[in-house]
Amino acid sequence: MSERTINRVLVANRGEIARRVFATCRRLGVSTVAVFSEPDADAPFVREADVAVALGGSTPAESYLRGEAVIEAARRTGAEAVHPGYGFLAENADFARAVLDAGLVWIGPSPEAIAAMGSKTEARTRMRAAGVPVLPGAHLDGEAGDALRAVAEEVGFPMLVKAVAGGGGKGMRLVEAPAELEGGVEAAQREAAGAFGDDAVFLERFAPRARHVEIQIVGDAHGRVASLHERDCSVQRRHQKVIEEAPSPAVDQRLRKSMSEAAVAVGEALGYVGAGTVEFLLTEGGEFFFLEVNTRLQVEHPVTELVTGLDLVELQLLVAEGRPPPPEARGPELRGHAIEARLYAEDPAHDFLPVTGRLTRFAIDTDAVRVDTGVEDGASISPFYDPMLAKVVAHGRTRGDAARRLADALARAELHGTTTNRDFLVRVLRHPEFLAGEADTSFLDRHDPAALGAPVVGADGVRLAAAAAALAGQAERRASARVLATLPSGWRNNPLDEPQPATFAVGEDELRVGYRFGRDGALVRLRVGDDDLEGARLHVCGPELVDLEVAGVRRRYRVAIAADGLTVHVNTDEGQVDLVEVPRFVDPAEAAEEGTLIAPMPGTVTRLLAQAGASVTAGQPLLALEAMKMEHEFTAPADGVLTELRVEEGSQVETGAVLAVVEGTE
């Protein structure tokens, strides 16, 4: 391959990865082009590109998956090369071939390498032929009933049903017993068809208590493939990575050498050009088995960058220009430890259900950690795309340093307006098993995600945060008062009067806060629940900042009162507390009927699993809803009769829509 210069790059992607590629391009003096869908028209990545082209549509199929429109955008803007990012068309061999046929540079491996590794079953066959160990497995070709069970028995339980064209945990189901087999295969096929347009699946033996360890490789046009060491991505939910790190705490120098040599052999056998990842399953006994090759840049690539000092996007551009990577990329030394946490708009307490809404505040200390994100204050969390908000990455001299720094930065982050997995991540990073380097892919089977996702702020911290919320609320009301504005809030002529009350909902609990000011404006009484706070003294009290001293300990609270006037976010050094002030007079019409099943997000009804009039039991699946490229089952809230089923298959529902009503029986 002859060398050529790339002056303008189109990124065929969105959000965080588009911004990440743009950052390197700007540093290297390369012009950038963005493509965008209608929901992304005002997104940061669109503004940051030198040129942007509208693809139209809202869903991926209407926008980012339209390969011909992306190529036409490159032609119209004079882009010489296309960077696919990850997801969407990144591992689509036909798209890569179309880019090359259009006379453009494809920043990635050859279409032939993508096609060879795009089929997980073909990849397994090639690896077995190359002498790379693989787990027992079998491709499915329409088998059902006894034939399906026979294939499964040969593979062995427990097993994973995996999409042939899959990735990112989509189109994957764990099957632990024969009774779960047909349902698991059908669910994986539906999800695979929706995510990849291909419902083909295969079976693969599941290895419990194993680790997910992957090797980053970079190949150039001169036939050289180098290993940039390993990443450990064992902490996963729904088979999707949430915490990644480099190097792996389970890999010593001998094992690192063996796994790197195997990964390089895979790259050389493929004639691999560009950045890619060879993924392995590492057993308790130290054996490793091939899983797949990701023929693109990985979401978790920043941890490799931080421990090697290399810019992987820059290496991709160099290789695409036909130039060799620099000498330091042929065997870089490991420097310290890096850990990445994927921050999602999702609810760990409810099986990591994705959530939508408006992110009114997004602030993480970038002096302490690296933050790769596609969102900003006011961002709308769309149901059309993956709900990842950011990748937050910490680098430290030791693994413990990195974990402590990352947990602290997440705990202090201001994330207002939508539910996130932030507290879950903090608890995992501080968990003794994780800190001991013993977390594997079944970590969340042993530790309840709902418990890990519980607020990190303790009961005493919540009580003080509620007091700060009440004081900030009264300060805002005083500041905007049109009459008697000079009177202190909560002041009474009769000093024996009860303090001015405010009640907050914190999760499923309620906290009553009472306060009273003297005529001089000084705080004379502060009560939370049934307890007066000893020695309460205010140093600063405003709508956005409360500096409160209690029992000789002084703390500062950053307070944000939402536009509804009721939701309050309180941020402290310990973490964030979200409260909702309970109105004194509640509109009865706002109370949902008991037994009502409400849609927590917009989506499409894919399956009805019960009929109106049927008797149901608590936890029985009633219907399935597809949102954010994942299928979610909704179950009966109680024993009773399914008196109403207000949707049908194919129905489009919005957040808050009534899906079904179950009336309890005596």
List pLDDT tens digits, range 243-253: 999 999 999 99
494 or 128, which is more confident? 128
Which residue has 């060491």 as its token pair?
Answer: 229
Residues 440, 479, single domain; the answer is no
State residue 207's pLDDT score: 84
Q: Is residue 119 part of a domain?
A: no
Q: What does the pLDDT read at residue 319?
A: 97
Residues 478, 512, single domain; the answer is yes
Residues 97, 151 within the same domain? no
Residue 123 lies in a domain: no
Answer yes or no: do 277 and 360 share one domain. yes
- Amino acid 70: pLDDT: 98
For the chain, percent helix, then strand, then coil, each to nearest 5? 30, 35, 40
- Which residues make beta-bridge pairs with 632? 625
Between 316-320, 455-459, 488-492, the lowest mean confidence (pLDDT) is in 488-492
Q: Would residue 116 count as lying in a domain?
A: no
Same domain, 442 and 498: no
Is 440 a member of any domain? yes
pLDDT above 70 as % of the chain: 94
Is residue 26 within 8 A of residue 18, CB to CB? The reply is: no
CATH number at residue 85: 3.40.50.20
Residue type at position 408: D
More confident residue, 438 or 488: 438
CA angle in degrees (0–180, nearest 5) for 29-33-38: 150
Q: In terms of domains, do 556 and 613 share one?
A: no
Q: Report yes or no on 121 lying in a domain.
A: no
333 and 221 part of one domain: yes
For 64-97, give one letter per residue: b (16+ CB within 10 A) or e: bbbbebbbebbeebebbbbbbbbbbbbbbbebbb
The domain that holds 641 is classified in CATH as: 2.40.50.100
Q: Check whether residue 292 and residue 414 sit in a common domain.
A: yes
Q: What does the alpha-carbon distance between residue 96 and residue 102 come to, in Å, rounded to a whole number?
A: 10
The answer to whether position 125 is within a domain reads no
Return contacts of 248-253, CB within 8 angstroms, 24+ apart.
248/211, 248/213, 248/282, 249/399, 249/437, 250/211, 250/213, 250/282, 250/437, 251/213, 251/282
Map tokens 């493929």 to a residue. Answer: 270
Average pLDDT, the chain: 91
- Which candidate, 628, 645, 627, places its Cα nearest to that of 636? 645
- Please tell me whether residues 228 and 303 are part of one structural domain: yes
pLDDT band, very low/low/confident/very high, at 389 (cuts 50, 70, 90) = very high
Q: Where are the beta strands (DSSP E) in 224-348?
A: 225-237, 240-246, 274-282, 288-294, 337-344, 346-347
The residues with which 390 forms a beta bridge, in sequence order, are 343, 373
Inter-residue contact 437 to 213 (CB < 8 Å) = no
Last residue of a domain, one of 205, 232, 250: 205
Q: Which domain holds residue 599?
A: 588-663
What's the number of CA atoms in the CB half-sphere (13 Å) around residue 101? Answer: 10
Cβ pair 341, 410 in contact under 8 A: yes
Average of per-residue pLDDT across 651-657:
78
Q: What's the number of domains the chain is made of?
A: 5
Q: Smallest Cα–Cα separation from 390: which of 381, 398, 399? A: 381
Tens digit of pLDDT for each residue in 215-230?
A: 999 999 999 999 999 9
Domain at 233, CATH number: 3.30.470.20
Read off the pLDDT of residues 529-558 as tens digits, 9 standing for 90 and up: 999 999 999 999 999 999 999 999 999 999
- What value does the mean pLDDT take over residues 124-139? 86
**Sign of the CA dihedral running 154, 156, 161, 162:** negative
Number of H helices, E strands in the chain: 17, 40
Last residue of a domain, one of 409, 425, 452: 452
pLDDT at site 482: 53
For 574-608, write each residue's pLDDT tens digit: 999 999 999 865 544 444 567 788 887 677 888 88
Which of 205, 227, 261 delimits the end of a domain? 205
Spell out the residues 6+ positions from residue 494 whose beta carbon is closer than 8 angstroms to its own: none
Alpha helices (runs of H) in 334-458, residue ranges in sequence order: 399-412, 422-429, 432-435, 443-446, 449-452
CA distance 339 to 337: 7
Ramachandran region, residue 76 (left: φ > 0; alpha: ψ -120 to 50; beta: rest): alpha
* DSSP notation for 524-554: EEEEETTEEPTT-EEEEE-SSEEEEEETTEE
Q: Kindly state the helix (H) or strand (E) to which residue 8 belongs, with its residue range.
A: strand 8-11
Q: What is the pLDDT of residue 479?
A: 82
Asked if the structure places residue 642 within a domain, the reply is: yes
- Give yes or no for residue 312 having a pLDDT over 90: yes
User: Which of 370, 119, 340 lies closest to 234 in space, CA to CA?
Assistant: 340
Q: Which residues are catalytic?
A: 296
Residue 2 lies in a domain: no
Are 399 and 310 part of one and the same domain?
yes
Determine the average pLDDT of the residues in 32-46.
Answer: 97
Check if the beta carbon of residue 559 is closer than 8 Å to that of residue 570.
Answer: yes
| Environment class of 334 (CB within 10 Å of its CB; exposed 0-12, middle 13-18, buried 19+) | middle
Lowest pLDDT segment from 27-31, 235-239, 365-369, 592-596: 592-596
User: Residue 506: which CATH number?
Assistant: 3.30.700.30
User: DSSP letters of 384-408?
Assistant: TS--EEEEEEEEESSHHHHHHHHHH
Name the pLDDT band for 498 (thresholds 50, 70, 90).
low
498 and 439, same structural domain?
A: no
- Helix (H) / strand (E) element for 604: namely strand 603-608
- Overall residue count recorded for the chain in this entry: 666
Positive or negative, the CA dihedral 225, 226, 230, 236 is negative
The pTM (predicted TM-score) of the whole model is 0.85
Name which of 592, 622, 587 is nearest 606 in CA terms: 622
**314/255 same-domain check:** yes
* Contact yes or no for 661/600 (Cβ under 8 A): no
How does strand 545-550 pair with strand 553-561?
antiparallel
pLDDT for position 496: 45
More confident residue, 538 or 648: 538
